[in-house]
Copies of this chain bind each other. A is one copy, B any other.
């Protein structure tokens, strides 16, 4: 018997992330009723038809009242505004959590509001996703074997933290707790920086104007694979860039130093240093494919 059980949860934003969270908890048998709300009425209807949620609510109040746990799964740039709308309708002592990929700005904005409303806020971020979006993209296995990072503050209620941890564990995640700034720096490095690079690469190549034709037309499979993430949603990435500014700028500078080092080695035709640079990178990258025990 799993002692962890929730009578009602509410998903605010029933897309890939929120919808998959609902499906995973239902499959784990740890929730009786999932209520859902979405800014897009059609998507909300679809989520209900596909049984991603059990109850669809046209008002935030109806969705979150009586819920022990409310999951905010809306874009990073909307998280604080939606929290402001949701909090007045939540039960005293209920738990509010989120899934945003930047955490410090959300924690700073939402935590004081939650405390004032008598609600326990726990900031979280599942390291998972696909390129698809919307309720129809949700599936119960999305989080299986993936990591979820929780970033509690000194004010975070221990019981609420435990509840959110158990929810993500029930969804299949390994849950890691860390300092909120560390989360934002790590995500800046492994996710936000690569997106900035991919966007910049595509713009730099498509703007190359020595020839009349667009040289992107010559790109083969390798370039297409490498720049796949440059096809990501511009609004989402504008919000992430704005909300993780300091950590992202730090990582852009870190990357710039290494690219400058490489450039200097090419200028100086230093074959030995070039070989070492490429080999070091290859070894680090190959090691990701054979993760340590900690990653299992």
Contact = CB atoms under 8 A, between A and B. Distances in A.
Interface of A: 127-129, 146-147, 182, 185-186, 189-191, 193-194, 196-208, 210-211, 215-220, 222-235, 237-238, 241-242, 245, 248-249, 251-252, 254-259, 262-263, 266-267, 269, 271, 274-275, 277-282, 284-289, 291-292, 294-295
Contacts of A202: 281, 284-285
A223 B259 contact: no
Contacts of A224: 288-289
Contacts of A217: 288, 291-292, 294-295
Given A218-B147, A223-B190, A267 B282 contact: no
Contacts of A278: 199, 232, 234, 237-238
B274 A230 contact: no
Nearest to A215: B186
Nearest to A239: B271
Given A128-B220, A230-B281, A241-B266, A258 B186 contact: no
A234 B203 contact: no
Number of copies: 2
28 contacts: A191-B220, A193-B204, A194-B226, A196-B262, A197-B259, A198-B226, A199-B281, A200-B255, A200-B262, A202-B284, A203-B281, A204-B251, A204-B255, A206-B280, A207-B254, A216-B287, A225-B228, A227-B285, A231-B286, A233-B282, A237-B278, A238-B271, A238-B275, A242-B274, A245-B269, A252-B259, A252-B266, A256-B256
Nearest to A292: B217
Q: A186, A196, A281 — which one has the most chain B CB atoms within 10 A of its CB?
A: A281
Given A245-B269, A256-B256, 19 more contacts: A128-B220, A129-B222, A147-B220, A185-B210, A186-B215, A191-B222, A196-B259, A201-B255, A202-B281, A202-B285, A204-B257, A205-B254, A208-B254, A217-B294, A224-B288, A234-B279, A238-B274, A248-B266, A252-B262
Contact of A127 (B218, B227, B274): B218
A207 to B, nearest CB: 7
